[in-house]
Chain A
């Protein structure tokens, strides 16, 4: 969470104590429920015709045309070190923007939008799989299951780009 947002939150707190909440778009990847901060999510779409990019890292699922923009699709299962999907049902994608470029996170399915209180956040367990831990921001305890909140910036910080920087 950026300092600005924290500040905003504090300001809001002063206005109204009940506003200490963040909204998340929930997505299923593998058996796990993940959450993405709603302000980072531009749209949710079905990744239609994906063009594979030869020689790119395995995490890049390909590129696609989303209403005239070229979107780089990232295979989230691969990114999180989860096994490839077996059932052939249609995948979904969450569109996000980062540094003026469009990305599509290819996921299994999209769930509802949850409004969660910030004070119920828990730090990422230390024993979490390292591939997951490095992109997780925090964990929320829901009634039925756990929601892992993803850090979008770290999610997109993939190897080749990190090296170039």
Chain B
């Protein structure tokens, strides 16, 4: 890009931000000539530069805005519409600048709409007084205006200056100029700054000479170099430590100090006042207050607090969102406020200050506070927690639910907020920079959101730990405490089924084995009984990472992972330690994700032991059709397998060749009884479960359809009896689970072979089928066999991987995603990583079919994704992918 243009863009964008802020201040304090001068100068500069660079559209716009502001200078009362119009003009200028930055030229089009409005306001200004009541005299105006004439010729859309002048003079002014609408003078620090500006004015030029503009890249580079220096120093110190008496000691100490100072100074260059992130907010609040019909005052404290620019960038959006939330949900309408004995004007207070290596930022409002009752109801209706759990929670814990995904309590959706994407995104953004958010709220008095963020992201303090024989770094910020575990002591690891947990001060802490998570763990399961637990908190989630050893803390320089390794979510980067070795930095968020898969109830401190165990099976809930057939005991079949439920007149059932048939949708449908005890009725209606596959269908005859329930399908007692998979507890009753796969071939012997589809498929292709649930294993194995595969069914990722590693070759792998221990993702990764199977197609099966899940699966490199019950889809996917491999081979 043209250097000149680049410079112009940077400068103008900065100026516009300032204009935005200043205008809002000006509206509140229209008599402050200082502010107006400031705005006028900025817009004038923009106009001038645009003319110089040959940007007519921008110049015209800026000119019109400037003219209107000139009127303000001459004493025209500042109305809200006028300010809104100028703000709109500035928005338009910004739009044009954006396009300019991308395309290097002004976008096509004209801004006659805005210019007309601006001009109309100038010419028809109802209150343009003939006698300027304030300082600036008309003579001076003429001077300014005629200056413009000299500078450049008139542009299209502009009113000639003479016309303007005439209109200005001819407009009959009211006898006495109406008192300018003065907003109650605010005590906000923004206004206070305004008066301070006067003093600063004199020193302004000096300050300007003392600062220079530096490219951000240069600073980044400098930071990288300092980081290297820090590493080298750490290395040298390490060496010196090993040598008892070294003449290097003293100079080394000196080097160390200088390095530390240098590091600090360079960090300082990257620091920016928090106020930079707040710059947009006065404007946001102003617009909001107009939109919502609430009077809002924005107070800002500690805008000078400095923060690393990288961090600053990341919190800008969450901050805006939270301020919007406070204005929209937090503050009441003026009527409500008066009713509640509060000042009509609501206040949002932003403050920032340092606290031990962190910046604390608070967004407080004096509104109605969080509605605990509504949050409770929402949490229950969204299935985030049940009533019993909520009953045990403190108010603060309930308030934390607002950070749960998809949680929005706004009764009505406004354009401002309340679209259900909100605080969870805020929490997420802040999590990513290692910060945390908390909320305190008192009903009727307001809420305070507290954001705690680290000063910088480049150099962090980390705890060095060991797991599976390798060392890793955990950011100190994420570590809450360390617990040493030993058998037979108070702190020991207990298991609920296979889920390790720790009892810590009456809380149950879900644990994750780092070695095992990273696939480093030896097969020895007993190793877990001693070691250390790093207690970690990510947002509201608390969990323990089980590690083998803990060393020390060290200042580490975060280096990004190589692109080839960036897909591993467990790591956020890597670093070089003082001893020169490279180690991985664990990403607590990534680890939390892994934990989250098995512990969703971590929000509740008092989570009952059984809950924690249950949580692992949440995804495994299945919709089941419960019915009776032959006996009083209930039977069930997964609802997804059933195509339709039918009630037919018993008379229509015909008997032919010893089989019961029904004319159904133009064809004969065979009826099969679930067992011999089922009587096909002679009159009345008969309940049928219809199963269809392509053109063919069959029906199971049952006595009575009882219910459709959603429950965890866990077959506890397998059955030897054909047609019955086993018994499970469904809604508290022992229920037989029907094996549909058994009945289908009874109707059509060649059911699974399909209508000739699989007949030409070459047999004896090897398929590896991994599925932890016995039910699905039993259900799908015959389907897969019928599709022409030699099926090896495995009940878990580890076993499956073992057989792949043993050298057995598979044409295709079908795996469940949610499995205890090694899940489908880890398995797929491992299979990919194995030499023999790197190109084997892998098809994922899952009961979760949300778009996120599908996207995740695609990203993880699966060849296809099939819903668990979609038998046809599975067969089609298999055909497609195994054909691929055969062609490729």
Chain B residues within an 8 Å CB radius of A160 = 564-567, 861
Q: Is A54 an interface residue (CB 8 A)?
A: yes
* A65-B576, A68-B232, A70-B574 as given contacts; A51 in contact with B565, CB under 8 Å: no
Would you give the 0/1 interface string for A134-165, flagging 1 where the beta carbon is closer than 8 Å to chain B? 00000000000000000000001011110110
User: Which parts of B536-587 form the interface with A (CB within 8 Å)?
Assistant: 559, 562-568, 570-571, 574, 576, 580-584
Considering the chains assembled together, what is the distance between the CA atoms of A78 and B832 in angstroms?
Answer: 12
Complex interface: chain B residues within 8 A of A78 (CB)? 835
Q: Are B564 and A158 in contact (CB under 8 A)?
A: yes
Task: Say yes or no for B880: interface residue by CB 8 A criterion.
Answer: no
Q: Known contacts being A54-B518, A68-B232, A72-B564, is A159 close to B582, with CB within 8 Å?
A: no
Given contacts A63-B574, A70-B574, contact A57 B833 (CB under 8 A): yes
Pair B559/A163 contact, Cβ less than 8 Å: no
**Bound-state Cα–Cα, A161 to B580, Å:** 28
Give Cα distance in the complex from A70 to B580, angstroms. 10
Interface of B is mostly: mixed
A5 beta carbon closer than 8 Å to chain B: no
A57, A68, A99, A103: which has the most chain B beta carbons within 10 Å? A57
Is B583 within 8 A of A51, CB to CB?
yes
Q: B residues within 8 A CB of A51?
A: 470, 581-584
B861 touches A159 (CB 8 A): yes
Chain B residues contacting A161 (CB-CB under 8 Å) are 563-564
B228, CB-defined interface residue at 8 Å: yes
Expressed in whole angstroms, the Cα–Cα distance for A53 and B565 within the complex equals 8
Which of chain A's residues 78-101 have a Cβ closer than 8 Å to chain B?
Answer: 78, 81, 99, 101
Instruction: Compute how far the CA of A10 lies from the CA of B470 in the bound complex, rounded to whole angstroms.
Output: 52
Candidates A58, A101, A163; contact of B562 at CB < 8 Å? A101
Q: Specify which chain A residues have a CB less than 8 angstroms from the CB of B584 in the assembled complex.
A: 51, 53-54
* A103 partner residues in chain B, CB cutoff 8 A: 562
A160 to B567, CA, bound (A): 7
A128 contacts the other chain (CB 8 A): no
Interface size on B, residues (CB 8 A): 34
CB-contact partner of A55 in B518, B574, B859, under 8 A: B518
Given A56-B568, A164-B566, A68–B576 Cβ distance below 8 Å? yes
B582 CB contact (under 8 Å) in A56, A58, A60, A70: A70
- In the complex, the answer to whether B570 meets A163 with C-beta atoms within 8 Å is no
User: Is B519 interfacial (CB-CB < 8 Å)?
Assistant: yes
Whether A54 contacts B563 by the Cβ 8 Å rule is no
Interface of A is mostly: mixed
* 8 A Cβ contacts from A81-130 to B: 81, 99, 101, 103
A65 to B575, CA, bound (A): 9
In the bound complex, how far is the Cα of B559 from the Cα of A158, in angstroms?
Answer: 21
Tell which of A58, A59, A65, A103 has the most Cβ of chain B within 10 Å: A65
Contact yes or no, A63 B861, CB < 8 A? no
A70 with B559, Cβ < 8 A, contacts A58-B835, A163-B861 known = yes
Indicate whether A49 reaches chain B with its CB closer than 8 angstroms.
yes
Q: Does B155 contact A (CB under 8 A)?
A: no
A36, CB-defined interface residue at 8 Å: no
Residues of B within 8 A of A81 (CB): 835
Bound complex: CA A49 to CA B368 (Å): 60
- Let me know if A64 is at the binding interface, CB within 8 A: yes
**With an 8 A cutoff between CB atoms, is B11 at the interface?**
no
CA distance A49 to B581 in the complex (A): 7
**Chain A contacts for B835, CB-based, 8 A:** 58, 78, 81
Shortest B570–chain A CB gap in Å is: 6
Verify B470–A70 contact, CB threshold 8 A: no
| Interchain CB contact under 8 A, B568 and A53 | yes
Q: Which residue of A lies closest to B229 (CB)?
A: A68
B387 interface residue (CB < 8 Å to A)? no
Q: How far is the CB of A29 from chain B (nearest CB, A)?
A: 15
Measured between alpha carbons, how far is A158 from B563 in the docked complex, in Å? 10
A53 to B861, CA, bound (A): 19
Residues of A within 8 A of B562 (CB): 63, 70, 72, 101, 103
* Chain A CB within 8 A of B834 CB: yes
Task: List chain A residues, Cβ under 8 A from B518.
Answer: 54-55
Shortest beta-carbon distance from A165 to chain B in Å: 10
Q: How far is B584's CA from A51's CA once the two chains are assembled, in angstroms?
A: 9
A55 and B570 within 8 A (CB): yes
Roughly how many angstroms separate A161 CA and B565 CA in the complex, as a whole number?
Answer: 8
Residues on B with C-beta less than 8 A from A58 are: 833-835, 838
Q: How far is the CB of A22 from chain B (nearest CB, A)?
A: 27
A60 touches B565 (CB 8 A): yes
Instruction: Tell me if B95 counts as interface (CB < 8 A to partner A).
Output: no
Closest B residue to A74 by beta carbon equals B564
B231 CB–A CB distance under 8 Å: yes
Can you identify 26 A-B contacts, CB atoms within 8 angstroms? A49-B581, A51-B581, A53-B568, A54-B470, A54-B570, A55-B518, A55-B829, A56-B568, A56-B833, A57-B832, A58-B834, A63-B562, A63-B574, A63-B582, A65-B582, A68-B232, A70-B574, A70-B576, A72-B564, A101-B563, A158-B564, A159-B832, A159-B861, A160-B566, A163-B861, A164-B563
Question: Which 7 A-B pairs rank lowest in CB-CB distance, beginning with the nearest?
Answer: A54-B518, A58-B833, A72-B562, A160-B567, A51-B582, A57-B833, A63-B582
